[in-house]
Amino acid sequence: MRSGRRRRAPPNEPDYRPGQLLDWTDGSVHWSREERPCRYCGRPTRLRDSKRSPAHKVCAETALTQQAAEAAAAYEKGHHL
């Protein structure tokens, strides 16, 4: 039996670029006085991602960009995440 819900088609041309996925404007959330190793590259950073884990802005956005592109590709192939 089919539900009344329809699947939305993905955008025609997915365009995921670093800098478009996260809002880094709130310094109280994304800044710490303590340097800790970035969760992606291991170099020291005072920046924190949305989960308060140490991460450079570029590293976090690159990782999210890659995840978004992989999710879009899986969606187009009909795989569920």
pLDDT in tens, 25-80: 887 888 999 999 999 999 999 999 888 999 999 999 888 888 888 888 888 877 55
Q: Which pLDDT tens digit goes with each residue over 12-22?
A: 555 555 555 67
* Whole-angstrom distance, CA of residue 80 vs CA of residue 33: 40
Residue 18 lies in a domain: no
- Judge whether 35 lies within some domain: yes
| Entry pTM | 0.63
Distance, C-alpha 12 to centroid of its chain: 20
What's the domain range around 35? 27-77
Contact 33, 5 (CB under 8 A): no
End-to-end Cα spacing for the chain: 23
Q: Which helix (H) or strand (E) holds 44?
A: strand 44-47
In a domain, 12, yes or no: no
Domain assignment of residue 50, yes or no:
yes
- Count the domains in the chain: 1
Q: Is residue 17 part of a domain?
A: no
Phi, psi (deg, nearest 5) at residue 66: -65, -45
- The answer to the question of residue 3 being in a domain is no
